[in-house]
Chains A and B, each alone.
Chain A
Amino acid sequence: MRSASGPRSAVLSRPTARRYGVVALALATGLGLAACSGTGAQPSGGGDSEAVSLDAVQLIAPADPGGGWDQTARALGEVLTGEGLVGKAPVENIGGAGGTVGLAALANEKDPATLMVTGLVMVGAVETNASQSRIEDVTPIARLTEEPLVVVVPSSSPYKSVGDLVDAIVKEGAAISVTGGSAGGADHILAGMLVTEAGVDPADVPSTLNYIPNSGGGEAVTMLLGGTVQAGISGVGEFAEQVEAGELRALAVSSGEPSELLPEVPTLADEGYDIELTNWRGLLAPPGIDDADREALVELVTELHASDAWTTTLADKGWSDAFLVGDEFQAFLDGNIAEVAETLQTIGLVAK
């Protein structure tokens, strides 16, 4: 049961959560920050005279209120209605099991004007939960944002580069423990890719990589600062504060380009590891929709991406733009799914 850490983690996501529902409400009632005041946000009415191909779009956040996916869905709803791209864009939360509960709901959705938030975590959860519904079954629409991961060590650590760290793991094995987010999550996957890339036989990866997962926020930082573990991997946002304060040393980020939050830190490619893995978020539509419906959604999302309000939202939330649609997104998604599935098998979380 999550609840154990429930008081911390489960509850942690849920109520943080609620507030975004409320934020949406607050914004609608003019209480909130006028984030998207660019065009003078109109309260959602029915018949806008704007030329819209869709009157309404149903947004699904496959998570409880509060987490990244929920924030993404709420922000989308705000911008879509605020810019008059659609008349209404209500958000429904269908949380649970790393988004696979929401994915199952989407697979049965009949209304083609439906967009569900997705991301790297769902790609992994489909594998680790042996989900009946798979992302391949539904219709991919777009990738929107991404957050790079960062590899850190305590500032007192002897490891000066990501190479030092990976070499030590290869040589000393389980004596070096690495911490991060949940088992089988993005952080764990990146750790597995690093060890595999360093030449460890896939069969030996589970016994070589001693990964200590955490269920709640902040625990990884504590373990690093307390010297309980030797290294950590997480989203740049999780560690940035301690890195700036000089308590943690960032060795590398996992994106193609240096991160905006930690511009000084080299990428894994710079350090000689051919790995790029970011915590991306995107949108999916129900299965079996016809081309016209799919085109309408793609066009809607493209218009959204072009709007100033979305640019403002990205800046406010600290999200990096990673817009990708059509065949490019399809190709990226296929590659991502294959890569994640393989790594999860290698690190032993999913049976081969």
Chain B
Amino acid sequence: MDSLAALLEGFATALQPQYLLYALFGVFVGTAVGVLPGIGPAMTVALLLPLTYSLDPTGALILFAGIYYGGMYGGSTTSILLNTPGESASIVTALEGNRMAKAGRGAAALATAAIGSFVAGTIATVLLTFLAPGIAKLAVQLGPADYFALMVVAFLTVGALLGSSVPRGLVSLGLGLMLGLVGTEVLSGQQRYTFGVPSLADGIDVVLIAVGLFALGETLYVASRLRHGAVQLIPVTRGWRSWMTRSDWRRSWKPWLRGTAIGFPIGTIPAGGADVATFLSYASERKLAKGRAREQFGRGAIEGVAGPEAANNAAAAGVLVPLLTLGLPTTATAAIIISAFQSYGIRPGPLLFENQSGLVWALIASLYIGNVLLLVLNLPLVGMWVKVLRIPRPYLYAGILAFAGLGAYALHFNVFDTLTLLVVGVAGFLMRRYGYPVAPMVVGGILGPMAEEQLRKAMAISQGDLLYLVHSPFAIIAYTTMAVIVLGGIWLKRRRARLEAAPKLVPTSAIQAIDEATK
């Protein structure tokens, strides 16, 4: 069947009043639970899945699509406002978004996240509609060598996060990689650095690293030199017109589109996942930023929220490509979607579009609808969420601490994770105090183990042939792109340095000397 005709039929189903109601309810509940700190989209979807069990399959999947998008948006809200990302894909959002919020620009951050999600989600869903079969066929051809190339490119993000002192940035990265080593390694099943503690055998969950560094470490740091006296009131902008200024729009639309372009393809390949896409988007936005925006990076640049949020949502739609066409879950959220299908006795896979055509297209149509509803429902609430930041500081940070504790304990219902969180949090405090950037540590903790696994898989398959790493066109293209970016960056930096340095380079002493000499 023609994609377009099928899609229209899907809309005819999904636009029926009761299904519209399901979609609206899904978006609302998804956002409400996703907003809770420490709960990422995957967990939101998982927690709310049973709500769908009493419905017919179409209604259930439509409700579910709403929960999916709602949870995604809710997750970014907590990252921006409370610095407690619930999963790795929203960590990057916390980087700039939380700084924006603290500078009183939370409404703009939330708005660019919401609109960016909508733009990216819609474009990606269109791509999904028309490209699904073809893309899936290409994506499945990628092997460990290609994934490794992708990881290497993603590590470029670290360069963007290093901050002013390169050695300190590398220490931070090293600490993250070190935490990533803990646990049972995938390739030969050996335990590393577990010291015989069974709770360490499964490794240190990345949520602990992120929440420890961002939420707990920051709270300790703030406590160490809290601004006493009159609390500076964060100005809350009134009226939806002021959420995003004209300049915000101008600075956001390109990152939205770039984020979509990065996110969708990466979402379609297994082992990519939304987190890699958000890192790449962040790195490229930072590289491309000019002038004032460039200075703002690390202090709350809107591009750093717009791009990664768009990439995140585009990747989320991209994930549906291998899922619907091959039955492959490539992220945690995808795994849950599969179980949703399975609870109706439907196995996503190559035959899905033939056997369950009506259902699939209703689902895709409801993705479009969910996107729209999300925007309609949540933009008016932006102001409400931002008020969270007006809570008096002692209570705000106490709340962050409490929710950090919840996030850690809820991982395995074991206080060992609480202890790990505390250790990471204290490390985060010391790092902030002594001028180490914390973000490379999180990136190292996520990408390090992925990169090692793929590299070792490639080496095992090729039995040690290093050329295997560049045997495929994809890998060659990835490495070439990286080389161009790096060399281009260095060239730009040199040129700028030369331009900026030129007038300054004459030391006053030299001028004095000349003055003296000419006297």
**B191 on the interface (CB 8 Å rule)?**
yes
> Is B198 a contact of A96 with CB atoms below 8 Å?
yes
> Is A218 a contact of B330 with CB atoms below 8 Å?
yes
Bound state CA distance, A31 and B351, in angstroms? 31
**A78 on the interface (CB 8 Å rule)?**
no
Bound state CA distance, A228 and B413, in angstroms? 39
> Is B47 a contact of A129 with CB atoms below 8 Å?
no
> Is B347 a contact of A241 with CB atoms below 8 Å?
yes
**A235 on the interface (CB 8 Å rule)?**
no
Bound state CA distance, A247 and B460, in angstroms? 24
Could you tell me the distance in whole angstroms from the C-beta of B95 to the nearest C-beta in chain A? 17
Bound state CA distance, A97 and B269, in angstroms? 29
Could you tell me the distance in whole angstroms from the C-beta of A352 to the nearest C-beta in chain B? 15
Bound state CA distance, A3 and B270, in angstroms? 16
**B130 on the interface (CB 8 Å rule)?**
no
**A17 on the interface (CB 8 Å rule)?**
yes
Closest B residue to A2 using CB positions: B203
**A19 on the interface (CB 8 Å rule)?**
yes
Closest B residue to A229 using CB positions: B461
Please choose the segment from A115-123, A174-182, A249-257, A276-284 that sits at the chain B interface, where 4 or more of its residues have CB less than 8 A away. A174-182
Bound state CA distance, A128 and B184, in angstroms? 10
Task: Render A16-38 as a binary contact track against B, CB cut-off 8 A, 1 for contact.
Answer: 11110011011000011100000
> Is A31 a contact of B412 with CB atoms below 8 Å?
no
**A244 on the interface (CB 8 Å rule)?**
yes
Please choose the segment from A5-13, A163-171, A290-298 that sits at the chain B interface, where 4 or more of its residues have CB less than 8 A away. A5-13
Task: Render B214-240 as a binary contact track against A, CB cut-off 8 A, 1 for contact.
Answer: 000000000000000000000000000
CB-contacts of B456-474 with A (<8 A) = 457, 460-461, 463
> Is A19 a contact of B329 with CB atoms below 8 Å?
no
Most A CB contacts (10 A, CB to CB) among B45, B335, B449 go to B335
* Given A8-B273, A18-B47, also A96-B461 (CB < 8 A): no
Could you tell me the distance in whole angstroms from the C-beta of B163 to the nearest C-beta in chain A? 23
Closest B residue to A213 using CB positions: B186
**A14 on the interface (CB 8 Å rule)?**
yes
> Which residues of B lie under 8 Å from residue A150 when comparing CB positions?
none
> Is A228 a contact of B144 with CB atoms below 8 Å?
yes
Closest A residue to B188 using CB positions: A183
> Is A3 a contact of B331 with CB atoms below 8 Å?
no
> Which residues of A lie under 8 Å from residue B184 when comparing CB positions?
2, 97, 129
* Given A100-B198, A245-B349, also A222-B331 (CB < 8 A): no
**B142 on the interface (CB 8 Å rule)?**
yes
**B295 on the interface (CB 8 Å rule)?**
no
Task: Render B300-338 as a binary contact track against A, CB cut-off 8 A, 1 for contact.
Answer: 000000000000000000000010001111111001100
**B50 on the interface (CB 8 Å rule)?**
yes
**A15 on the interface (CB 8 Å rule)?**
yes
**B97 on the interface (CB 8 Å rule)?**
no
**A265 on the interface (CB 8 Å rule)?**
no
**B182 on the interface (CB 8 Å rule)?**
yes
> Which residues of A lie under 8 Å from residue B186 when comparing CB positions?
5, 182-183, 213-215
Could you tell me the distance in whole angstroms from the C-beta of A22 to the nearest C-beta in chain B? 5
Bound state CA distance, A104 and B199, in angstroms? 12
* Given A14-B411, A96-B202, A210-B461, also A183-B187 (CB < 8 A): yes
**A270 on the interface (CB 8 Å rule)?**
no
* Given A215-B186, A217-B335, also A96-B463 (CB < 8 A): no
**A325 on the interface (CB 8 Å rule)?**
no
Bound state CA distance, A95 and B199, in angstroms? 9
> Is A226 a contact of B336 with CB atoms below 8 Å?
no
In the complex, which of the residues A4, A31, A175, A247 contacts B50, with contact meaning CB atoms closer than 8 Å?
A31
* Given A218-B270, A222-B270, also A5-B449 (CB < 8 A): yes
User: What interface size band does chain A fall in?
Assistant: 35 or more
Task: Render A217-250 as a binary contact track against B, CB cut-off 8 A, 1 for contact.
Answer: 1110111011111000000000011101101000
Closest A residue to B189 using CB positions: A183
Could you tell me the distance in whole angstroms from the C-beta of B66 to the nearest C-beta in chain A? 17
Bound state CA distance, A23 and B349, in angstroms? 25
> Which residues of A lie under 8 Å from residue B448 when comparing CB positions?
1, 4
Most B CB contacts (10 A, CB to CB) among A177, A210, A216, A245 go to A216
Closest B residue to A92 using CB positions: B413
**A286 on the interface (CB 8 Å rule)?**
no
Could you tell me the distance in whole angstroms from the C-beta of A4 to the nearest C-beta in chain B? 3
> Which residues of B lie under 8 Å from residue A219 when comparing CB positions?
270-271
**B43 on the interface (CB 8 Å rule)?**
yes
> Which residues of A lie under 8 Å from residue B201 when comparing CB positions?
96-98, 100-101, 129
In the complex, which of the residues B51, B89, B140, B463 contacts A210, with contact meaning CB atoms closer than 8 Å?
B463
* Given A12-B335, A242-B327, also A177-B460 (CB < 8 A): yes
Task: Render A104-117 as a binary contact track against B, CB cut-off 8 A, 1 for contact.
Answer: 10000000000000
**A146 on the interface (CB 8 Å rule)?**
no
Bound state CA distance, A223 and B144, in angstroms? 8
Bound state CA distance, A3 and B184, in angstroms? 11
Could you tell me the distance in whole angstroms from the C-beta of A52 to the nearest C-beta in chain B? 28
Could you tell me the distance in whole angstroms from the C-beta of B191 to the nearest C-beta in chain A? 7
**B59 on the interface (CB 8 Å rule)?**
no
> Is A2 a contact of B351 with CB atoms below 8 Å?
no
> Is B50 a contact of A22 with CB atoms below 8 Å?
yes
**B75 on the interface (CB 8 Å rule)?**
no
Bound state CA distance, A246 and B276, in angstroms? 32
> Which residues of A lie under 8 Å from residue B328 when comparing CB positions?
218, 221-222
In the complex, which of the residues A1, A64, A96, A182 contacts B204, with contact meaning CB atoms closer than 8 Å?
A1
**A275 on the interface (CB 8 Å rule)?**
no
Bound state CA distance, A5 and B209, in angstroms? 14
Closest 9 CB pairs of A and B: A4-B449, A183-B189, A1-B203, A3-B206, A15-B46, A97-B201, A228-B143, A26-B50, A11-B332
Q: List 13 A-B contacts (CB under 8 A).
A: A4-B449, A6-B205, A6-B206, A10-B205, A11-B43, A14-B43, A18-B46, A33-B54, A95-B412, A213-B189, A222-B142, A225-B140, A349-B189
12 more CB-based (< 8 A) A-B contacts, given A3-B206, A216-B330, A222-B140: A2-B203, A5-B453, A7-B206, A7-B446, A10-B205, A11-B42, A19-B49, A25-B50, A215-B453, A216-B271, A222-B328, A223-B144
